[in-house]
């Protein structure tokens, strides 16, 4: 068991759980890809702080024809500390050093179909 978000506890890796990506969707149907990436990693017990993996994730979403809308996510308003003392703003700052579309933040509609595609991503 591990803590997720606002003090809720779930068994990580349980892809049938209603917490995780569904929890993000319950807050808002459209979410930014940084938060989606973090939650996807939490569900799969991956290190969300890996820049190259995030870039692979964005390339994967594009290859699956997921509609992504570029999103200007202000580093100072990104939420700061996230899980286990990891600093989300530092992650965004590192991403900003890349001048490519796969290192940007986007909004994505978290429909059931898109959540299924997200869960099919293989972090290699």
pLDDT tens digit string along 61-89?
Answer: 999 999 999 987 665 544 544 544 467 88
The number of residues in the chain equals 124
Q: What is the pLDDT of residues 22-51, one digit of tens each?
A: 888 888 888 999 999 999 999 999 999 999
Separation CA 119–CA 117 (nearest Å): 5
* Better-predicted residue by pLDDT, 93 or 6: 93
SS3 4: strand
Residue 74: predicted pLDDT = 64
Half-sphere exposure of 52 (CA within 13 A, CB side): 2
Percent of the chain with pLDDT over 70: 73
Per-residue pLDDT, averaged over 90-105, amounts to 91
Sequence-distant contacts of 75-81: CB under 8 A, at least 24 apart: 78/34, 79/35
Global confidence as pTM: 0.76
Quickly state the pLDDT bin for 16 (edges 50, 70, 90): very low
């Amino acid at each position: 068991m591990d803590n997720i978000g606002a003090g809720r506890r779930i068994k990580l890796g349980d892809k049938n759980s209603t917490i995780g990506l569904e929890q993000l969707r319950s807050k808002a149907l459209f979410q930014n890809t940084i938060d989606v990436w973090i939650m996807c990693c939490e569900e799969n017990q991956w290190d969300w702080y890996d820049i190259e993996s995030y870039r692979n994730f964005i390339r994967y979403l594009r290859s699956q024809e997921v509609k992504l809308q570029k999103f200007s996510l202000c580093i100072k308003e990104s939420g700061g500390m996230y899980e286990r003392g990891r600093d989300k703003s530092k992650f965004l700052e590192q991403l900003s050093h890349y001048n490519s579309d796969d290192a940007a933040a986007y909004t994505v509609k978290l429909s059931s179909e898109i959540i299924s595609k997200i869960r099919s991503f293989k972090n290699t």
